[in-house]
C-alpha cells in the first residue's frame, strides 16, 4: 500500500509539473512588420508583459498585406492572437470580420481620437506621417536646395532620380499619390486628376517602382534614389546606419500614417490577447517603443525625457500638420485603382 501511495504521489507530482510546464510555455503570436519594429517590440516592449503573465510572445513577421492574408486564410482557426497593420489595411481587416472589439480599459480614454478605429475594433499603437525624404549627398553634389513640396517629385531636374513605392502594395506610395492627386484637384473619392497628370509630371522622373521600401537603403547609398515618399521614423533609422537621407515635411502637409492593432476574433487565448492589447496602449509600453525604436505614441499620457522627448515633440508637430485620409472611401475603390495603376502607370 505504501508503495502504491508513493507511486500515486509521484504521478500527481509529475502531472502537476507537466501542467506547470505547459502553463510556462503558453505563447501568443503577434503578426507585425519585421525589421526595426520586430526588434523593438521583442527586445524591449513585450518583456514586462511576458514577465507579468508568464507567457512568450512570438512575432510572425511580414508586411501588412502579408499579415492580413495570413489572418484571412486562417479565419476559421486563427493561428495568431493579435496583429499590427497599417491603418488602411486595418480598416479592411475590420470589414472582413477578423477583429474582436477591444474590452474597456483605462488606456483607451487617453488615446488620440484618430487612434479609435470602428468603435475600438482596432486601435492605433503608433502614429507617424508619410512625407518626403531626400538624398542629402546627391542634393549637395548637385547644389540643389532641399525639397519643400509634394510637387518636387515632378521637378524635371529629377528625371530618373525618383523612387516611388507601388500603389497596390505600399501605404507610402498610396499616401504620396493621394497628396499629389489633391494638389491636382482630386479627392480621396476621385483620383482621376492624379492619374491624368502623372504621365507628364512625376512619371518621367521615376527610376523604379518598388513593391516595398526595403530597397530604399541600398538605392540611397548608391545615389540612385534622390527623392522618395518616406516617414520621419524610417529616415532617422537610415541616418543612424550612415545612409545620407533627411526627412522633409511637405509644405502642403504630410499624410497621417498609423500602425493599428486588433485582437483576432476567435483566437485561442481571448482573455490574454485582450490583456496584451490593453498593455500595448499603456504609457509604459508606448514609452518603451519610443525610447527604443522611435515609435511615436498614440497615448497622450506618455512621458519621456531627453532624446526621446525631443523626438516625440518633433513627431507630434508633424502629425498636427498632417491630413488623415478617408480609408472607408479609399477601400471602396482601392481594387479599381490598383488595376488602373498597373495598366497605366507601371505597365
Asked whether 115 and 124 are in contact (CB, 8 A), the reply is yes
Domain boundaries, the chain: 19-126+258-316, 129-256+324-344
In 3D space, the residue among 26, 67, 82, 16 whose CA is nearest the CA of residue 50 turns out to be: 26
Fold adopted by 19-126+258-316: D-Maltodextrin-Binding Protein; domain 2 (3.40.190)
38-70 burial, b if ≥16 CB within 10 A, otherwise e? bebbbebbbeebeeeeebebebbebbbbebbeb
Cell (9 digits) for 31? 503578426
| C-alpha cell belonging to residue 103 | 474590452
129-256+324-344 belongs to CATH 3.40.190.10: yes
- Residue pair 81/30 in contact (Cβ under 8 Å)? The answer is yes
**Could you list the pLDDT tens digit for every one of the 347 residues in the chain?**
434 454 444 444 444 444 454 456 699 999 999 989 999 999 999 999 999 999 999 999 998 989 999 999 999 999 999 999 999 999 999 999 999 999 999 999 999 999 999 999 999 999 999 999 999 999 999 999 999 999 999 999 999 999 999 988 889 999 999 999 999 999 999 999 999 999 999 999 999 999 877 899 999 999 999 999 999 989 998 999 999 999 999 999 999 999 999 999 999 999 999 999 999 999 999 999 999 999 999 999 999 999 999 999 999 999 999 999 999 999 999 999 999 999 999 97
Same fold, 19-126+258-316 and 129-256+324-344: yes
pTM score: 0.86
Report the C-alpha gap between 190 and 103 in whole angstroms. Answer: 37
Contact 238, 226 (CB under 8 A): no
Residues 315/232, Cβ–Cβ less than 8 Å: yes
Query: Measured between alpha carbons, how far is 286 from 293 in angstroms, rounded to an integer?
Result: 10
Q: Enumerate long-range contacts of 169-173, CB under 8 Å, 24 or more apart.
A: 169/63, 169/65, 169/211, 169/212, 170/210, 170/211, 170/212, 170/213, 171/64, 171/86, 171/87, 171/88, 171/89, 171/130, 171/257, 172/130, 172/213, 172/229, 172/230, 172/231, 172/257, 173/209, 173/229
Amino acid at each position: 500500500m505504501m508503495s502504491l501511495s508513493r507511486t500515486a504521489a509521484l504521478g500527481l507530482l509529475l502531472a502537476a509539473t507537466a501542467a506547470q510546464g505547459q502553463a510556462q510555455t503558453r505563447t501568443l503570436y503577434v503578426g507585425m512588420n519585421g525589421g526595426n519594429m520586430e526588434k523593438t517590440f521583442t527586445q524591449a516592449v513585450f518583456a514586462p508583459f511576458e514577465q507579468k503573465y508568464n507567457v512568450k510572445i512570438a512575432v510572425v513577421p511580414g508586411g501588412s498585406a502579408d499579415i492580413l492574408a495570413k489572418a484571412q486564410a486562417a479565419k476559421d482557426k486563427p493561428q495568431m492572437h493579435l496583429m499590427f497593420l497599417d491603418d488602411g489595411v486595418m480598416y479592411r481587416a475590420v470589414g472582413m470580420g477578423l477583429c474582436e472589439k477591444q474590452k474597456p480599459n483605462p488606456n483607451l480614454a487617453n488615446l488620440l481620437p484618430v487612434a479609435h478605429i470602428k468603435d475600438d475594433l482596432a486601435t492605433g499603437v503608433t502614429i507617424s506621417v508619410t512625407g518626403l525624404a531626400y538624398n542629402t549627398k546627391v542634393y549637395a553634389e548637385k547644389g540643389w536646395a532641399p525639397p519643400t513640396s509634394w510637387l518636387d517629385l515632378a521637378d524635371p531636374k529629377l528625371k530618373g532620380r525618383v523612387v516611388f513605392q507601388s500603389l497596390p502594395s505600399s501605404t507610402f506610395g498610396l499616401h504620396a499619390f493621394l497628396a499629389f492627386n489633391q494638389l491636382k484637384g482630386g479627392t480621396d473619392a476621385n483620383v482621376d486628376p492624379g492619374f491624368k497628370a502623372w504621365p507628364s509630371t512625376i512619371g518621367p522622373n521615376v527610376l523604379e517602382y518598388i513593391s516595398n521600401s526595403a530597397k530604399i537603403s541600398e538605392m540611397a547609398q548608391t545615389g540612385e534614389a534622390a527623392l522618395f515618399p518616406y516617414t520621419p521614423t524610417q529616415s532617422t533609422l537610415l541616418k543612424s546606419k550612415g545612409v545620407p537621407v533627411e526627412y522633409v515635411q511637405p509644405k502642403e502637409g504630410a499624410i497621417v500614417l498609423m500602425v493599428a492593432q486588433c485582437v483576432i476574433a476567435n483566437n485561442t487565448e481571448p482573455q490574454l490577447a485582450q490583456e496584451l492589447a490593453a498593455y500595448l496602449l499603456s504609457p509604459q509600453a508606448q514609452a518603451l517603443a519610443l525610447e527604443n525604436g522611435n515609435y511615436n505614441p498614440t497615448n497622450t499620457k506618455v512621458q519621456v525625457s531627453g532624446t526621446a522627448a525631443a523626438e516625440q515633440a518633433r513627431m507630434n508637430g508633424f502629425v498636427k500638420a498632417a491630413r488623415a485620409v478617408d480609408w472607408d472611401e479609399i477601400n471602396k475603390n482601392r481594387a479599381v485603382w490598383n488595376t488602373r495603376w498597373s495598366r497605366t502607370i507601371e505597365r
